[in-house]
Structure formats: C-alpha cells, structure tokens
Amino acid sequence: EQFRILFLDKKNGLIADEVQQTGTVDHTPVYPREVVKRALELSASAVILVHNHPSGDPTPSRADIEMTKQIIDTAKPLGIAVHDHIIIGRKGNASMKGLLLI
C-alpha cells in the first residue's frame, strides 16, 4: 500500500502531492500527528487523503475509517479540513465522503 496526501490552500489549490508512507501488501502505518504536522509546515488549509488497496477491492476497511477519523479529529482544531479519503483499487475507487463515512 502507498498513502499519499494532497495538501491544499484556502482556495483548494494544490500546494503539494506527497507520499506519506509506503507499507506492506495489506498495511501502511499512518500517524495523524505527522499528517497534521506536514500540513502546518506547508500552511495547508485542507488535505485529501489517497491510498491504494493492492488487493484490488477499494472498499474502506475498519482500520481505514478509524485512521481517517483520527486525522480529522487531530486536524480540525487547527483549522485544517479533511475533504475526502479516496481508496484506489483495480476494481475502481471509493470516496469515504461519497460513502458518507466522513
């Protein structure tokens, strides 16, 4: 798996597209504090989280949902919005916002 973050400015313009972590076939460790720290360093107002599921199934796992909620809870008090978390697989993609998970 690979976990990327799109860092956005106040007008949702792209500041940076960075790989946060690269993990194993079924797990990538992501630390909410590191995501938010990098957003602050870049003066980002919002982020879009993106990662892939090598299995091909883009359905968000329980761990994906929990981690996303932790990032939201860490970022929100600092004025950083999480617009979406998109999971990409061979069978398509899934938007946590579109699925009403966040």
Is position 30 within any domain?
yes
pTM: 0.87
Query: How many separate domains does the chain show?
Result: 1
Q: Is residue 88 part of a domain?
A: yes
Q: What is the pLDDT of residues 20-74, one digit of tens each?
A: 866 555 566 788 899 999 999 999 999 999 999 888 889 999 999 999 999 999 9
CATH code for the domain of 26? 3.40.140.10
Q: Round to whole Å and give the CA distance between 76 and 59.
A: 25
The pLDDT score that the predictor gives to residue 39 is 97
- Does 102 map to a domain? no
Q: Is 80 inside any structural domain? A: yes
**Domain coverage including residue 19:** 2-95
DSSP character at residue 58:
-
Name which of 72, 88, 89, 77 is nearest 35 in CA terms: 72
What letter does residue 55 receive in the DSSP assignment?
T
State the Cα–Cα distance between residues 92 and 82, nearest whole angstrom.
22
